Chains A and B, each alone.
Chain A
Amino acid sequence: MTTVSDPVDDFTKRFMGDPDPAGEPPQEPGIRLTEQQLRARRARSIAIALALGAFVIVIFLVTIVRLGGNVLTRPM
């Protein structure tokens, strides 16, 4: 079985050096979140999603209640 090399990857390795000589994922610059921070962020994200979902449902229900049967009344 032959492996096909990626020409872009080859070019990068030849002219800019191999960024991943040991086969490990490259280290991106910036803040790396700990396991606890990731868990907390995920929980907050889910809570915000649920709150927004509830907000949409409230707006929908109030719209239906306010319009009532008039929702079917429109100029033709």
Chain B
Amino acid sequence: MSLTVARVEPSIAGVGDYIALMKPRVMSLVVFTALVGLLVAPGHVHPVIGMTALLCIAVGAGAAGALNMAYDADIDALMARTAGRPIPRGRITPGEAAGFGMTLAAFSVVALGLLVNWVAAAMLGFTILFYAVVYTMWLKRSTPQNIVIGGAAGALPPMIGWAAVTGGTAVEPVLLFLIIFFWTPPHFWALSLYRTQDYARAGVPMLPVVAGERETRRHILIYTLLLAPLGVTPWLFGYAGPTYGIAAALVGAIMIALALRVHAERSGHAASKQMFAFSILYLFLLFAMLLVDRTAGLLIGHFVP
């Protein structure tokens, strides 16, 4: 009988590797959209409680990122965009990343529940579970609709922020959810258009790999045509002022113009790259304008009787 003992090398992972595991750029967008949800919600929340909620949401997002990288290490190693992540580079083992992710997930959900409220905590727990299990483990490798359905995880943070203040939900946070939900597919499809080879090599059934570039460009246009009016709905429903409405219509029109260029593009990927870059700015501007609109409204209400 032979006994095989796996040799475990002591870790050389630095703090930076663990930070990279938490996808800091995704986390920053999650924190920002959650902050907007928290600040536009009716009612008052003590700044310390608000900051604690944001911290828990940030850590929860980091946990989801770590769990995603733990599971996807095999395909990350095959794609240029993700080959530099800590696990493919051999800095952290998938087991370490999974342990790190699960610890952070448990801490963030329990802390949010105990320190803020359990509705927000349940939503955060659901978001992490949805991203790590439904999107990463199930949808990503099995359907070209992966990012459409999986986008729900990225769209939930403003609802969690809202729930942190109110202990529930309403139409307005659902509108914010829908905006991010419909923003996600054109954003990622624009990226996948010029990363098709990467996804094909890794066996990820992204839309351009499965249905071709032409179909993807058509899908980008359809989703952008749905997204642009959705961006204006907070004004139409009376949650934001006309300044927000006009600005949202303007950036929405730019998104549609870019989507039309992507649709018309026959060679090269200049328009797709432009669309991908602007889509990030679009979401940031939309939420920033909502924040400015609400803050300005509060200030005017405070100083003008």
A binds B: yes
Task: Tell me, yes or no, whether B52 is within 8 Å of chain A by CB.
Answer: yes
Q: Is the CB of A47 within 8 A of B11?
A: no
Q: Is the CB of B10 within 8 A of A62?
A: no
Task: Tell me, yes or no, whether B305 is within 8 Å of chain A by CB.
Answer: no
Q: What CA separation (Å) do A65 and B50 show in the bound complex?
A: 11
Q: Across the interface, name the chain B residue whose C-beta is closest to A59.
A: B115
Partner of B15, one of A34, A36, A47, A55: A47
A41 with B11, Cβ < 8 A, contacts A58-B55, A65-B49 known: yes
Q: Chain A's nearest CB lies how many Å from the CB of B143? A: 37
Partner of A37, one of B12, B111, B115: B12
Interface centre among A33, A46, A61 (most CB of B within 10 A): A61
8 Å CB interface, A15-43 against B: 31, 33-34, 36-37, 40-41, 43
Task: Tell me, yes or no, whether A13 is within 8 Å of chain B by CB.
Answer: no
Q: Is the CB of A62 within 8 A of B115?
A: yes
Q: Chain A's nearest CB lies how many Å from the CB of B13? A: 6
Question: How many interface residues does chain A have, given as a range?
Answer: 10 to 19
Q: Is the CB of A33 within 8 A of B52?
A: no
Interface centre among B11, B12, B52, B111 (most CB of A within 10 A): B12
Task: Tell me, yes or no, whether B266 is within 8 Å of chain A by CB.
Answer: no
Residues of A contacting B55 in the complex (Cβ-Cβ under 8 angstroms): 58
Partner of B10, one of A37, A55, A59, A65: A37
Residues of A contacting B10 in the complex (Cβ-Cβ under 8 angstroms): 31, 33-34, 37, 41
Question: How many interface residues does chain B have, given as a range?
Answer: 10 to 19
Interface string of B66-101 (1 = CB under 8 A from A): 000000000000000000000000000000000000
Task: Tell me, yes or no, whether B171 is within 8 Å of chain A by CB.
Answer: no
Task: Tell me, yes or no, whether B118 is within 8 Å of chain A by CB.
Answer: no
Residues of B contacting A37 in the complex (Cβ-Cβ under 8 angstroms): 10-12
Q: What CA separation (Å) do A61 and B50 show in the bound complex?
A: 12
Q: Chain B's nearest CB lies how many Å from the CB of A41? A: 7
- Cβ-closest 5 pairs across A and B: A47-B15, A37-B10, A65-B48, A62-B115, A40-B12
Q: Is the CB of A40 within 8 A of B48?
A: no
Interface string of B157-177 (1 = CB under 8 A from A): 000000000000000000000
Q: Across the interface, name the chain B residue whose C-beta is closest to A64.
A: B48
Q: What CA separation (Å) do A34 and B12 show in the bound complex?
A: 9
Task: Tell me, yes or no, whether B238 is within 8 Å of chain A by CB.
Answer: no
A-B contacts, 5 of them at CB < 8 A, read: A37-B10, A40-B12, A46-B15, A58-B111, A62-B52
